[in-house]
Amino acid sequence: MEVFFISKIILDKYQRKIIKNKSKNLLIIAGAGSGKTLTIVYKIKNLIEKGIDPQKILCITFTKTAAKSLHQKLLKENISLEVKTFHSLGYQIITQTEKVKLVKDDMLDTIIIKHLYNTAKLYKIINAPFMEFGQGNSTKLKNNILKNSNYILYLKDTIKAFLNLFKSNNYNLSSFKKFLNYNKKKHFIKKQIRHKLFLNLVKNIYLEYEDYLESTKQIDFHDMINKSSNIVKKEGIYPYKYIIIDEYQDTSLNKCLLIKNIQDKTNASLIAVGDDWQSIYQFTGSNLEIFTNIKKYFVHCKILKLKNTYRICNELVKITKDFILKNPYQIKKTIKSNTHIKKPVHIYYYENNIKEIWNIIVSQIAEKTFVLGRNNKDREMIPYLNKYMTYMTIHKSKGLEADKIIIINLENTIHSLPSKIQNSEYLKYVISKADEFSFGEERRLFYVALTRTKSDVILLVKKNNPSIFVQEILQNSSKYIQIH
């Protein structure tokens, strides 16, 4: 790898090229462990050294934790620059023109539950496809389902997910008319009736919720983005020269439109950084197409790639690249590593549960290790942890690294990895269609898990019922995998 020194920091030729680049719009595709944050810090340092006022650099990331981490890394380079989250930026813009407060998260739940228990025709929207084919006593079956509080909670969560995606994808009241027209054209009569009832129910909930927010001068997290975007469009914003966005692969449509409106008003240059292979927040509204088709939103966008990884070995690069690129929606890229481990993936089989092999695993752990599961409940599978081990979900591990990784819950069940829980058929109206590859999001999740390690990965697998992802990497990359 070709490298060069800057202030005692080593940067490679790809990082150097990005730091020198002067494109109006720039997308930096940064693979796992490629020095993304270092590149951002030195890009900002370079801009300031060339005379750009730090206050005219708008630096945005997605979580408070990530914003704090980047802020501290900038301070180490004597750069005092506020790093905002999208929501803190939105709130700042809104509160400059009006006084608002954040609504409690459970208010939407309260309104949804009230409507569910007051809806006489609720049994007609039960999301069970077999109902349409008259198998068994469907009325009795529906009534039994409705008596089950778990189903009501499931329906509540479906409606809440619908409205969260509805607002994050910038839909409005008139969108319900388009949804109903689509339903009428695409579905046969029984399904059409069910979808119409659902859409009208959600529309009524949306209207009540929005009326409540307006009358009490409250906003939710989506309003922070949507309202601030409208304010910028109408009234303008502080004259930024540069907009720098970290973790751009997590961007939703409304966040993209906010940035576009800021750029339209300020003529600022855009630098977006991220990795489409690590886009794992579709359920919060992130839209892969905003990353993979960035030129649709920001014309003449230059695309540069960080091609060296300083975390994972070359053999693990080959395993994970082959695995992720099975999805044709992902952007092809070259990743190189200077380190080598002949067999970086170790599979330990058990017959019934992890307890059978856990002592063997723990005896090997004497360095910082993440134990990663698909769900919070997976923690219950683990008998105990030693002082070097930390359990977390794969989602929580994103952006972090450890000396060693252990991945659990690699069975072929509904709640394992990949999760077989399908989105409700009703969410198709509001969810991104850019990633229709089977288990696309789950595939990226497994990729994230595999690439947290600085050495090797241990997979704990049920012998007679292995995850389909484990079966796939065994079939395609067996020479890099050690079986125990």
> For the segment 384-415, what is each residue's pLDDT rounded down to a tens digit?
999 999 999 999 999 899 999 999 999 999 88
- Cα dihedral sign for 262, 268, 270, 271? negative
pLDDT of the residue at 86: 95
Q: Which two tokens stand for residue 424?
A: 């409700």
Look at residue 147 in the predicted model and tell me its pLDDT.
Answer: 59
Which of 282, 146, 126 is closest to 201 using CA atoms?
A: 126
Burial class (CB in 10 A: 0-12, 13-18, 19+), 302: middle
Three-state SS for 190-230 is: HHHHHHHHHHHHHHHHHHHHHHHHHHCCEECHHHHHHHHHH
Residue with tokens 């576009």: 260
Band (105; pLDDT cuts 50, 70, 90): confident
pTM comes to 0.89
The confidence band for 129, taking pLDDT boundaries of 50, 70 and 90, is very low
From 415, 345, 420, 320, select the one nearest 373 (Cα to Cα). Answer: 415
Q: What is the pLDDT of residues 308-320, one digit of tens each?
A: 999 999 999 999 9
Please determine, for residue 6, whether its predicted confidence score (pLDDT) is greater than 60: no
Average pLDDT over residues 285-304: 91
pLDDT greater than 50 at residue 335: yes
What's the token pair of residue 38?
A: 């270092």
Q: What pLDDT digit, counting tens, does each position of 55-88 carry?
A: 999 999 988 888 999 999 999 999 999 999 999 9
Predicted confidence at residue 423, as pLDDT, reads 79
